[in-house]
Amino acid sequence: MNSNTAQGHRKKLVGVVVSNKMHKTVVVSVARKVRHRKYLKYVTTRKKYYVHDEHEECRVGDEVEILETRPLSKLKRWRLLGVKSRAEGTRV
């Protein structure tokens, strides 16, 4: 049995960490392009997601991949899949 069929289809997003000041939680900003209805120009919209970071490995500026999951707290509905690229100038 495939893991996708057992859990159903879960959304994956890629974004940038904007805050890591909470315990085991990071805030990730995800940008997407939306076409304006009247002017037909593409506009960048951003949304912030609260993401569960179990091992506290993320730093501000890291590009991360997140996965939709069950509600973990009042605001957290996403968990960290992995760090795609580290921010410039940060040490591990």
How would you label 41-64 residue by residue, b for 16+ Cβ within 10 Å and e otherwise? Answer: eeeeeeeebbbbbeeeebbeebeb
Counted domains in the chain: 1
SS3 (DSSP) at 29: strand
Q: Is residue 90 part of a domain?
A: no
* CATH code of the domain in which 65 resides: 2.40.50.140
Domain with 7, as residue range(s), is 3-85
List, in sequence order, every residue forming a beta bridge with 49; answer none if it has no partner: 28
Contact (Cβ atoms closer than 8 angstroms) between residue 53 and residue 72: no
Print pLDDT tens along the chain (92 aa).
455 556 679 999 999 999 999 999 999 999 999 999 999 999 999 999 999 999 999 999 999 999 999 999 999 999 999 999 998 876 65
pTM: 0.85
Q: How far is CA 59 from CA 38, 40, 62, 83, 86, in A?
A: 39, 36, 6, 10, 8
